[in-house]
Amino acid sequence: MTVLRFVLGDQLSRSVSSLRDVAPDDVILLAEVGEETGYVRHHKRKIAFLFAAMRHFAEDLRQEGLRVEYRTLDEDAPADSFTAALMEAVQRHRPERVVVTEPGEWRVRQMMEGWERALGLPVEIRPDDRFLCDHATFEAWAEGLKGLRMEYFYREMRRRTGFLMDGEAPVGGRWNFDFANRERLPAEIEPPPRPDFPPDAETQAVLDLVSRRFGNHFGDLDGFDYPVTRQDALRYLDWFVEDALPRFGPYQDAMRQGAPLLFHSHLSALINCGLLGPQECCLRADDAYHAGAAPIEAVEGFIRQIIGWREFVRGIYWREMPGYGERNALGATRPLPDFFWTGETEMNCLAQAIGETKRNAYAHHIQRLMVLGNFCLLAGLDPTAVQEWYLVVYHDAYEWVEMPNVVGMILFADGGLFASKPYAASGNYIHKMSDYCENCVFDVTRKLGPRACPFNYLYWDFLDRNGKTLRGNQRLRQPYQTLDRMSGERRTAIRDDARRFLDRLPSGGDY
Ligand SMILES: Cc1cc2nc3c(=O)[nH]c(=O)nc-3n(C[C@H](O)[C@H](O)[C@H](O)COP(=O)(O)OP(=O)(O)OC[C@H]3O[C@@H](n4cnc5c(N)ncnc54)[C@H](O)[C@@H]3O)c2cc1C
Ligand code: SF4
């Protein structure tokens, strides 16, 4: 009897649990559906990447001799939703049961849980064991802890996975080499050239579809050259480990105008959709360390991001849902300024980060955290608007990973569930880590007045404005002491400059 196996667009791994015991008579369903492309208006490049990866994955399965039903968005009567696609496939193939892997999003999980009733068939929802920490293990780790700190979770994950371990001890004598990951990039060091993967006919058909159907969505499609097959993803991983990983460590926090990728892996979208596994990426980096091809501060930094942060934020998401997205501990309500969609702002760091986001559906972590995120925090932008923006614009964005990074990491909207203090910084941080300020109309050394870097007065205004909630935070004691030492006139001038700046932010455009 036939089993219908429904594979979602971020489950493109041959080893995904829903395909593990697939038999030649089974039908594997993949579907491009309108609801998923439209519930937020995703970046064109993100849609193109996912559809191209899905189509190539389906072809790989066919080459293996498996039966695949692939629904495209450009057929005469495309499926509106996952549920509709599944119901139509059930009617056609009359399977005895349906097998799926749990989704990455609460909304879809709710949908899946209604399928058994809607279809009148058994629906088996299997765990997504491509993640290295399952829900029960995360719950057990978090149980009874007052504050959830990634660092302790990460050490547990090192022990469990054995990456960079020497028996019970961490290789190199320390768990964390973050202190060696914060260097400014010297002008004479050039990031390595990246391999590109020009679109084949199938990917070109997807690009045409996306520009036809989603022409009014945010972002550019030109020059699309990202891997969309398992084979190319593996080639890209090889390239990263050999050519970029050795310098990934020291320059992880650096930013340079016109160099969007630096030594970052650019692997997140490939891992999140399943073309690469987190375990195999870490294994390759671990091997490079043991072969003497990459130093400990690079390899530890990379592995920490994957078995630490990536698994940790997923654990937070499922633990805190539903309702996590509505948190707003700082009562922030300002609408998203229009320049988040156009990139048209005189603040050069923001203009660069948004421009690159528009072109590439990518910005690296420090741009997301310390430029864009820092601005969202200091300006008091509405958390739901910020979440939607981050979900729309990045090709690696799924709610399970975007939401904790926005709600918990950049906005402190969960009141410090896992961040010990808000990641708030003045312009000096951006100046220290980038060359953006050299090309900006604002002066990063000025604290007040029309030419002063807005981050400078927004930083103090943020602390002032949120004193009631944040003053008690021990890690903010020093900045609050500095604020308290300022004269009344200075504090009024800071408030006035911040007010003038914030009131002038244009918002409400239709994008
Ligand atoms: C506000 C905000 C929103 C973010 N939204 C997303 C998102 O929607 N999807 C997403 O995959 N990442 C998100 N991140 C995390 C991180 O910025 C990206 O994973 C990273 O920039 C991807 O680029 P890379 O592959 O070159 O990463 P690298 O710098 O090369 O890091 C290696 C890998 O570590 C993982 N990683 C690193 N940091 C994080 C993190 N904080 N959370 C989860 N995984 C991490 C990613 O898989 C990444 O590929 C967000 C971060 C912030 C601050
Ligand atoms: S001066 Fe301020 S606004 Fe301009 S690039 Fe530097 S940090 Fe950004």
Kindly indicate the confidence band of residue 77, based on its pLDDT and cuts at 50, 70 and 90: confident
At residue 402, does pLDDT exceed 90?
yes
At residue 215, does pLDDT exceed 70?
yes
Going by alpha carbons, the residue nearest to atom 44 of ligand 1 is 310
At residue 211, does pLDDT exceed 70?
yes
Q: For the sheet containing 97-101, what is the strand order?
A: 67-71, 27-31, 3-6, 97-101, 123-126
Task: Give per-residue pLDDT as tens, 416-470.
Answer: 999 999 999 999 999 999 999 999 999 999 999 999 999 999 999 999 999 999 9
Distance CA 361, CA 463 (A): 32
Ligand 2 atom closest to Cα of residue 348: 5
Element (H, E) at 117: helix 115-119
Q: What is the pLDDT of residue 111?
A: 97
At residue 510, does pLDDT exceed 70?
no
Q: Which of 184, 257, 346, 348 to mutate to test the pocket of ligand 2 (most atoms within 8 A of CB)?
A: 348
Task: Give per-residue pLDDT as tens, 307-365.
Answer: 999 999 999 999 999 999 999 999 999 999 999 999 999 999 999 999 999 999 999 99
CA angle 340, 342, 346 (to 5 degrees): 80
Question: Which DSSP string corresponds to 385-429?
Answer: HHHHHHHHH-TT--HHHHHIIIIIIIS-TTSSSS-SS-----HHH
From the CA of 455, which ligand is nearest?
2
Ligand 1 binding residues, C-beta < 6 A: 264-268, 271-272, 302, 305-306, 309-310, 313, 364-365, 368-369, 373, 390, 394, 396-397, 401-402, 405-406, 409-410
Q: Separation of 208 CA from ligand 2 center, angstroms?
A: 38
Task: Give per-residue pLDDT as tens, 245-283.
Answer: 999 989 999 999 999 999 999 999 999 999 999 999 999
At residue 177, does pLDDT exceed 90?
yes
* Phi–psi pair at 446, nearest 5 degrees: -85, 140
DSSP 326: G
Q: What is the pLDDT of residue 34?
A: 87
- What's the whole-number mean pLDDT along residues 485-494? 98
- Mean pLDDT computed over every residue of the chain: 96
Q: Rounded to two decimals, what is the model's pTM? A: 0.98
At residue 508, does pLDDT exceed 80?
no
Ligand 1 atom closest to Cα of residue 364: 21
Q: Which of 268, 271, 276 to mutate to test the pocket of ligand 1 (most atoms within 8 A of CB)?
A: 268
